[in-house]
């Protein structure tokens, strides 16, 4: 709103509708005053208490209240504006005159020129009221021609403090000798005490490091023991699982043997070879079960190539023996494959257990070696 009012007043001033600063209008007849209609439709100019030229209702100037402002107020405001313009012009004239006066003054003023100017008559007139001992003005020539005071070059320094009195008499009194039967020991100096403290501190630090190392090694040993126990439990669980599977395979082979015996007896008397090979497989399974109880497998049954060779040979024999009967042949093959799978799984369990036991033994040996080294260093430090 203020920006709009400012731009509107500037437009009106450009159109010469408001008297300019240098207007020569007469306040008696108010010639040269151009009022403008109020843009906000203010009905009556209500003079503000503090800002006399503003309306209390709309906040605009008295110039923008055409046909709604008394003529007496217009004359009063115009006269005040003229007085303000004239006073401002007078002030500007005075300031300009002072500036011109300052510019015209010389750099060296008359008050300071007396020191460098020469006296016309050769001497200055002194005041009658002043004495010789009082303050008086002198020129530069008098300062140069005045005799300089003679200063005594011999300086004497007087010492007001007798430092010899501050010195106390120093009498060395010999210490009384105490007879002693023990041999004399060298006196302990401050340096020896400090070195002993450093050694004690170092010994205490080394002992603390050894205690920390012992605690760390004990923690590592306990962790290794826990891992060994967990591994043993896992291996026992796997062995029990394999035992159960082997037992089930053994029972299945026994059942197959009984069924094949019945089939051979009922079908043909020439099936004795099949019964013989089935009996051999059952004996092999029982032997594997006996080896499993002691966790030792023979080399002939631990080798995958030997197992495959035996199973293939048994399968070939079974094929020749049970070729007349398809049911007996399929049962024999199934039994041979089950036996081969059981032996292979037992071999894998054994190899895995041996590798884990070797790793645990190596770790225990390493920990024991570190413990021995720590004890040896502790004994050396002690």
Cα–Cα separations (whole angstroms), residue 287 to 3, 42, 297: 114, 125, 10
The pLDDT of residue 311 is: 42
- Taking the alpha carbons at both ends of the chain, their separation in whole angstroms is 96
In the block, tokens 């003679």 appear at 150
User: Is the CB of residue 353 less than 8 Å from the CB of residue 235?
Assistant: yes
Torsion-angle region of 178 (φ positive above 0: left; ψ -120 to 50: alpha; else: beta)? beta
Report how far residue 16's alpha carbon sits from residue 238's, in angstroms, rounded to the nearest whole number. 115
CB-based contacts of 290-298 (< 8 A; 24+ apart in sequence): 292/239, 292/242, 292/243, 292/246, 292/346, 295/239, 295/350, 295/353, 297/346, 297/347, 297/350
The pLDDT of residue 39 is: 84
User: Is the CB of residue 38 less than 8 Å from the CB of residue 64?
Assistant: yes
User: Is the CB of residue 322 less than 8 Å from the CB of residue 274?
Assistant: yes
Angle at which helix 326-381 crosses helix 304-321, to 10 degrees, equals 170
Tell me the pLDDT tens digit for each residue of 147-182.
877 666 677 777 777 777 777 766 666 555 555 555
Report how far residue 40's alpha carbon sits from residue 48's, in angstroms, rounded to the nearest whole number. 17
Report how far residue 97's alpha carbon sits from residue 103's, in angstroms, rounded to the nearest whole number. 10
DSSP string spanning 287-349? HHHHHHHTT---HHHH-HHHHHHHHHHHHHHHHHHSTT-HHHHHHHHHHHHHHHHHHHHHHHH
323's tokens: 């070729």
Cα–Cα separations (whole angstroms), residue 351 to 30, 48, 228, 324: 127, 111, 17, 41
Q: What is the pTM of this model?
A: 0.25
Q: Alpha helix (H) ranges present in the chain?
A: 2-14, 71-104, 110-113, 140-145, 190-267, 272-293, 299-302, 304-321, 326-381
Report how far residue 108's alpha carbon sits from residue 117's, in angstroms, rounded to the nearest whole number. 12
The pLDDT of residue 105 is: 65
Backbone CA torsion sign across 213, 215, 220, 224: positive
User: Is the CB of residue 263 less than 8 Å from the CB of residue 328?
Assistant: yes
- Over the range 176-199, which residues count as b (16 or more CB within 10 Å of their CB) and which as e? eeeeeeeeeeeeeeeeeeeeeeee
Report how far residue 45's alpha carbon sits from residue 38's, in angstroms, rounded to the nearest whole number. 10
pLDDT values of the chain reduced to their tens digit, one per residue, 382 residues = 444 444 444 444 444 444 433 333 343 444 446 688 888 888 888 887 788 888 888 888 888 888 888 888 888 888 888 898 999 989 998 998 888 888 876 565 566 666 656 544 454 444 444 455 567 777 777 888 888 776 666 777 777 777 777 777 666 665 555 555 554 544 455 556 677 888 888 898 998 998 898 898 889 888 888 888 888 888 888 888 888 888 888 888 888 778 777 765 555 444 445 455 555 555 655 554 454 444 343 333 344 444 444 444 544 444 444 444 455 667 677 777 877 787 788 778 878 778 877 888 788 888 888 888 877 877 787 6
Report how far residue 372's alpha carbon sits from residue 375's, in angstroms, rounded to the nearest whole number. 5
Report how far residue 7's alpha carbon sits from residue 27's, in angstroms, rounded to the nearest whole number. 27
């Amino acid at each position: 709103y203020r920006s709009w009012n400012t731009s509107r007043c500037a437009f009106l001033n450009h159109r010469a509708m408001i008297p300019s600063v240098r207007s020569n209008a007469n306040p008696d007849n108010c010639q040269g005053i151009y009022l403008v209609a109020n843009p906000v439709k203010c009905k009556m100019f209500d003079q503000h208490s503090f800002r006399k030229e503003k309306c209390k209702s709309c906040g605009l100037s008295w110039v923008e209240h055409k046909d709604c402002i008394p003529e007496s107020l217009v004359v009063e405001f115009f006269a005040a504006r003229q007085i303000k313009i004239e006073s401002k012009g007078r002030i500007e004239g005075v300031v300009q005159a002072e500036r011109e006066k300052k510019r015209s003054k010389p750099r060296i003023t008359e008050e300071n020129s007396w020191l460098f100017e020469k006296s016309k008559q050769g001497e200055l007139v002194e005041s009658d009221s002043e004495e010789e001992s009082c303050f008086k003005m002198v020129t530069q020539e008098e300062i140069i021609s005045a005799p300089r005071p003679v200063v005594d070059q011999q300086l004497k320094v007087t010492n007001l403090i007798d430092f010899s009195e501050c010195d106390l008499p120093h009498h060395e009194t010999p210490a009384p000798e105490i007879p002693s039967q023990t041999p004399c020991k060298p006196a302990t100096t401050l340096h020896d005490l400090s070195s002993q403290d450093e050694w004690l501190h170092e010994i205490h630090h080394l002992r603390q490091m050894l205690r920390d190392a012992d605690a760390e090694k004990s923690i590592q040993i306990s962790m290794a023991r826990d891992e060994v126990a967990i591994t043993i439990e896992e291996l026992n669980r796997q062995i029990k699982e394999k035992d159960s599977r082997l037992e089930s395979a053994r029972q299945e082979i026994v059942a197959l043997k009984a069924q094949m015996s019945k089939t051979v007896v009922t079908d043909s008397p020439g099936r004795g070879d099949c019964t013989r090979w089935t009996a051999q497989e059952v004996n092999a399974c029982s032997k594997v079960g006996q080896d499993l109880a002691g966790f030792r497998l023979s080399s002939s049954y631990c080798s995958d190539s030997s197992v495959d060779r035996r199973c293939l040979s048994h399968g070939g024999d079974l094929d020749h023996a049970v070729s007349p009967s398809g049911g007996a042949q399929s049962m024999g093959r199934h039994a041979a494959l089950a036996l081969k799978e059981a032996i292979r799984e037992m071999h894998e369990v054994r190899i895995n257990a041996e590798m884990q036991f070797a790793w645990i033994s190596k770790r225990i040996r390493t920990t024991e070696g570190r413990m021995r080294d720590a004890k040896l260093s502790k004994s050396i430090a002690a």
